[in-house]
Amino acid sequence: MTPVVAVDLPPKLTGKIAPDRILMTRTPRPPHGLVEGFKSIVDASSVISDIMDEMGITGATGASVLKPTIAGSTMVGPALTVRNIVQREHVYETARGHVNRMAEFEAHNLALPGDVVVIDGVAGISNMGGISAQTGKRQGEVGAIVQGGVRDVGHSRRVGYPIWATEITPVTGKWRIETIEINGDIQIAGVRVSPGDIVVADETGVCFIPLERAPEVLARALEKASSETRKCDAIDAGVSVADLPTNA
């Protein structure tokens, strides 16, 4: 678990979430070269999933669960986490009173270039829309993971902000969702995710790698990727199936 640290609040908050619910204003940063190393791996989610199995780490989810909104997209970066719940009041009351307690924009406010916003959200409701995606893109985020609905997919595609989400829906979260915590531990598809954990996403799936174990995962994943490259080269060279090198 990533420790909660006392830090100064940023100079400007959106006002939709209490300051004491922002557990860290800056996510832990990965060691130099770590993100670039994971980016260099072809078919990264499959390779990393195998390595995490060998290391006893739970953290991989398929793209049939977290579906990419932009075909062919890949992303790697530290997680900036958000937790949403359903508002207590009825939607007709909150919509009439314009009671909007969504605060993923506060996560954008805190984001550093290269971050991945990871939302433990609400099913059947949009936890992120097009304007939010455009804001995230401007802030330098590489994309988002959302357990729950998203909307305005065309908008996020146009601005080049990839999202992996469990659902797509036009139903707004503005009057239905309350953001109760930013940069705390969350759970995505049964996987615990802490702020700063490394997110690797591609067309095959998403891997959440605990930050403290990420250097070892990377080292072993690079070895496996190199071994698979040698095997593919042997296939292209016409080596018989019986003589193909095996992957350890």
List all residues 6 or more positions away from 80 whose beta carbon is below 8 Å from its beta carbon.
27, 107, 110, 111, 115, 116, 117, 118, 141, 182, 183, 195
Domains and their CATH numbers in the chain: 19-35+62-203 (3.50.30.40)
Question: Per-residue pLDDT for 6 more than 60?
Answer: no
**What is the pLDDT averaged over residues 135-160?**
98
List all residues 6 or more positions away from 87 whose beta carbon is below 8 Å from its beta carbon.
94, 99, 101, 175, 176, 177, 178
* Contact predicate 134/152, CB 8 Å: no
* Contact predicate 127/177, CB 8 Å: yes
Tally of CB atoms within 10 A around 168: 15
Whole-number Å distance between alpha carbons of 124 and 154: 18
Whole-structure pTM value? 0.89
Q: Predicted confidence band at 7 (pLDDT cuts at 50, 70, 90)?
A: very low
Question: Per-residue pLDDT for 25 more than 70?
Answer: yes
Tally of CB atoms within 10 A around 26: 17
Whole-number Å distance between alpha carbons of 186 and 33: 26
Half-sphere exposure of 156 (CA within 13 A, CB side): 26
**What is the pLDDT averaged over residues 156-165?**
98
Q: What is the pLDDT of residues 65-122, one digit of tens each?
A: 999 999 999 999 999 999 999 988 888 788 887 777 888 999 999 999 999 999 999 9
- Would you state the pLDDT for residue 14? 65
Candidate from 11-20, 49-58, 236-245 with smallest mean pLDDT: 11-20
Candidate from 37-41, 126-130, 229-233 with smallest mean pLDDT: 229-233
Candidate from 49-53, 125-129, 143-147, 234-238 with smallest mean pLDDT: 234-238
Q: What is the pLDDT of residues 46-74, one digit of tens each?
A: 999 999 999 999 999 999 999 999 999 99
Half-sphere exposure of 172 (CA within 13 A, CB side): 14
- Would you state the pLDDT for residue 236? 78
